[in-house]
Structure 1
Amino acid sequence: MSAPSVAELRAVAQPQTTMDRRSGEHWAGLLYMRRLSIYATWLLAKTPITPNQVTGLMIGCGVAAGAVLALPGIWAALGAALLIQVYLLLDCSDGELARWTGRTSITGVYLDRVGHYFAEAALLIGLGFRASQVVPDWYTVLGFAAALGAILIKSETDLVDVARARSGLVAATEAQAGQFASRRLGLARRIVGATRFHRLIQAVELSLIVVIVAVLDLWFPATRVLVVACAAVAGIQLVLHLVSILASRRLS
């Protein structure tokens, strides 16, 4: 396939349905990364690389970010944050390249989900090792606990579609996710969701917070405080997310 112009590529790779979605698109993608990713996709379209190979690079960047974060110092925190930005860029470009080349696949969707699991878990584990400094201790355990919580939260979401598929139903819609049997539960869910506290354990947000915390480490052990906070948020969100799913119309 000949190399397209950026305008031609954008028309196919970034359809309005993609740009308008909210629940399936990270805020950073809507704010700035989709503006950059189209140029990365334009370059990738000139090469023989496949969308799934781009996803593989995305996974590699996410895992590498966790490994780099485990190292001490501000530069390690900055390096991890940069790798997560590249991870986000590739996360946008793999789907764009798939749409342009017509290579969308179930395998690609699966690898994309796996990549999100790996990146968030790796970053939280790396944070735990970073807080422990030299010898693994309870902060390392808390990092692993936060990583497990982040994985289980994603599993709770994905298992909704598994349960529906095994019951012969189609995937849940955004409307069903926002409908609750009780108005009070629905209101409580909206109030809790408005705090955005769950974003603390998400890769992009956490990688940016870690840079700030690395500077604060010069005065007090801020990274250790962050690890404790991440473990607490993961535990609370794990329970609240399960309650939200059971109380919504997603399983009906």
Structure 2
Amino acid sequence: MPESTTTREGLTAAAVVLATTPAARLSCADGTLLDRVNDQLLMLPVRDVHVVPQGGGLGADLRGVAKIARISTGTLVLLPADLVAHTEALAVLVEHPSRNTGALVSADATVGPLRPPVRVENGRVVAAGSSYHLVPEANATFRGVLQVGEAALGTLADIADELAELADTGRLGPVTPIEAIDLLLVGLVRSGVGVRAAQLGPLHADRVAAQPAADLAVTRLSDVDEAKVRLDTAVKVDDGFFATFFVSSWSPHLVRLAARLKLTPNAVTGISVGLAVLAAVWFSEGTRGAQILGAALVLLSFVLDCVDGQLARYTRTFSRLGAWVDAMADRLKEYIVYVGLAIGYSAGHDAANGGPEGIWRMAVAAMILQMLRHMVDFSYKGAVADARRVGATWARPPRSLLESEDVGRSAVPRRGVLGLAQRLERETVARWLKKMIVLPIGERMALIAITAAFFNAKVTFTALLAWGGLALLYQLVGRIARSTS
């Protein structure tokens, strides 16, 4: 059967379905497994679907992928036709806003012929395996779905051609056509391309080889409520202590309500800014009742600040403008509140009673401190992004595909500050303390609300300067240690 292509207009991603194993023709309620995968791709933002049929052998399959990669634009999704997965599991990868290179992985590290091992560190796949390539210290398994960002398509094509040559000459041992995508993941990781680990979580994605396994895999899909998982995974897993335990534990209810009301994430951001302005107005009154009401509005504004991002992830209405507006709104809200607090404190202390006691200097100092902290943070992230863009040539030199064992980057344990940080990360209490030390926005908003409601602006700014200064020192030490490691 020749390769077939289905095209839909107005979308940017393309998909390659490898129907190269007999299991692609196994039956299910929707026809065959190949039919099921094609139907799922129609529910996702995929423009072109290329189906590579059985019969050419591994080398031919890989060359077919290389040919498609060289003529494609946008992202390219590779998946096998013998895959039984939740549509939401595919969306975790395909609908991610970054549109970068990523692989669908499961924390279940039980390795099998259709579940090759991988090692994941800091949200990235740093080592990948096949029947030929071994992965020491594997901590996850690859589930067959690979997305390649547009910038890496040329690298993918070159790797596919190289692998095809190695497979045809038998230099990769007894690899088979079922491993085509597994081998491509190995090649991308070893070439230095950054591969995001898209975590499967409670969803299912399994490749099958026989009808009983296919029937069981399809049956297991009904054990999971995809809508609930989508809502639960809209909550950031690496958020701060206050956001995680005091907001995100119940904010999904607001996310569902906002979705029903058809509110956009930017609209929720706008409401959040409005509440912060109202909080500043009440703080400017300077009375105890006004301080308490302002504190309540600050907390509600932060709740909506969490909801806008969760709503964007839940509805997958991502945009670069929305991300930029959200980041700018956070700074704007915080500084407006500072101004309101300073005005209110000044109004309650006239010159005859000691004056405002330098409250404006404290407010400006708090603003400058936060600006410095954000500058340190964002400049470091920018440097890391630059290093990743050129990592294939110097930071992460390519590793040969003929090396059977992939030791990746974690063969040597880290020592010093970074080693201590890694050890602390394994302890739950220490991990949460680390998150709190850096004074994320949730902790800052809570600190402002509590100190303003029960004390006054001078106490608020003193607390912000003391805790913020400690956070800045912690950030500087950490960034320097990472940069010189």
TM-score by length of 2: 0.40
Answer 1 or 2: which has greater strand percent.
2
CA contact under 8 A between 1:185 and 1:247: conserved in structure 2? no
Q: Does 1:212 align with 2:454?
A: yes
**Counterpart in 2 of 1:155?**
375
- Kindly provide the CA deviation profile for residues 23-81 of structure 1, in whole angstroms up to 9, marking residues without a partner as x: xx132332232233222222211223211221222233234323322321122222222
Is it true that 1:143 corresponds to 2:363 in the alignment? yes
Report the secondary structure of 1:71's partner residue. coil
Residue 202 of structure 1 deviates from its aligned partner by 1.0
- The number of residues matched between the two structures is 223
Written as runs of structure 1 = structure 2, the 5 A alignment for 1:6-45 is 9-15=227-233, 18=235, 21-22=237-238, 25-45=239-259
Q: Is contact 1:61-1:86 (8 Å) kept?
A: yes
Cα gap change, 1:184/1:118 in structure 2, threshold over 3 Å: closer, same or farther?
same
Query: Over residues 190-242 of structure 1, what are the superposed CA-to-partner deviations in whole Å (9 max), with x where a residue is unaligned?
Result: 79x9495664971222212221215xxxxxxxx43443343344445434422
Residues 181/87 of structure 1: CA separation in 2 closer, same or farther (3 Å cut): farther
1:161 Cα deviation after fit: 1.6
Hey, what's the Cα distance between the residues in 1 that align with 2:320 and 2:380? 17
Q: What amino acid does structure 1 have at the position aligned with 2:361?
A: V
| Residue number among 316, 329, 341 corresponding to 1:127 in the alignment | 341
Letter matched to residue 376 of structure 2: E
Check conservation: 1:121, 1:151, Cα contact below 8 A.
no
Question: In the TM superposition, what is the alpha-carbon distance from 1:88 to its structure 2 partner?
Answer: 2.3
- Change beyond 3 A, Cα 1:246–1:59: farther
Distance 2:419 2:281 in 1: 40
TM-aligned CA distance change 1:199 to 1:161, over 3 Å: closer
Distance 2:264 2:480 in 1: 39
Q: Distance in 1 between matches of 2:284 and 2:227?
A: 38
- In the aligned structure 1, how far is the partner of 2:314 from the partner of 2:323? 16
Larger Rg: 2
Match of 2:65 in 1: none
The 5 A counterparts of 1:78-97 are 78-97=292-311
Given the superposition, is the C-alpha separation of residues 131 and 185 from structure 1 closer, same or farther in structure 2, using an over 3 Å criterion?
Answer: farther
- Mark the CA change 1:89 to 1:228 in structure 2 (over 3 Å): closer, same or farther: closer
Do the aligned partners of residues 94 and 70 (structure 1) sit closer, same or farther apart at CA in structure 2, a change above 3 Å counting? same
Aligned-pair RMSD on alpha carbons?
3.5
| Contact 2:439 2:471 (C-alpha < 8 Å) held by counterparts | no
Contact 1:14 1:96 in 2 (8 A): no
Shift of 1:146: 0.6
Distance 1:65 1:10, change over 3 A: farther
Distance 1:98 1:110 in 2: 13
Aligned amino acid, residue 113 of structure 1:
A
Shift of 1:164: 2.4
What is the CA deviation profile of residues 63-121 of structure 1, one whole-angstrom value per residue up to 9, with x for unaligned ones? 43233223211222222221122222212221232223221222222222222222332
Instruction: Report which of the two has the higher share of helix.
Output: 1
Residue 224 of structure 1, aligned match among 450, 455, 458: 458
> Residue 51 and residue 184 in structure 1: after superposition, are their counterparts in 2 closer, same or farther (change >3 A)?
closer
CA 1:246/1:112 → structure 2, altered by over 3 Å: closer, same or farther?
same
* Farther off after superposition, 198-207 or 79-88: 198-207
The gaps in structure 2 that reach 5 residues or longer are 1-224, 351-355, 391-412, 425-429
Does structure 2 conserve the Cα–Cα contact (< 8 Å) formed by 1:128 and 1:139?
A: yes
| CA distance 1:121–1:182, change in 2 (3 Å) | farther
Superposed CA deviations along residues 147-190 of structure 1, whole A, max 9, x for unmatched, are 221232123212222222334449xxxxxxxx987339957xx7
Q: Given the alignment, which residue of 210, 232, 241 partners 2:475?
A: 241
Structure 1 residues 112-150: Cα deviation after superposition (integer angstroms, max 9, x where no partner) = 222222233233333333332356662112112112212
Write the distance in 2 (CA, Å) between the matches of 1:123 and 1:33: 20
1:46 to 260, 267, 286: 260
SS in 2 for 1:120: helix
What is the distance in 1 between the residues matched to 2:226 and 2:285? 43
Residue 108 of structure 1 aligns to which amino acid in structure 2?
Answer: G
**How far apart, in 2, do the equivalents of 1:184 and 1:101 lie?**
37
In terms of mean alpha carbon deviation, does 119-128 or 193-202 score higher?
193-202
> Residues 95 and 194 of structure 1: is their aligned pair in 2 closer, same or farther, counting only changes over 3 Å?
closer
Cα gap change, 1:68/1:241 in structure 2, threshold over 3 Å: closer, same or farther? farther
In structure 2, distance between residues paired with 1:79 and 1:180: 49
State the structure with bigger RCO (CA 8 A, min sep 6), 1 or 2. Answer: 1
**Contact 1:70 1:126 survives alignment (8 Å):** yes
* Equivalent-residue separation in structure 2 for 1:169 and 1:236 (angstroms): 32
Q: Percent identity between the aligned chains? A: 22
Give the secondary structure class of the aligned counterpart of 1:202. Answer: helix
C-alpha spacing 1:147/1:186, structure 2 compared with 1 (3 Å) = farther
Partner SS, residue 318 of structure 2:
coil
User: How does the TM-score come out when normalised to structure 1?
Assistant: 0.71
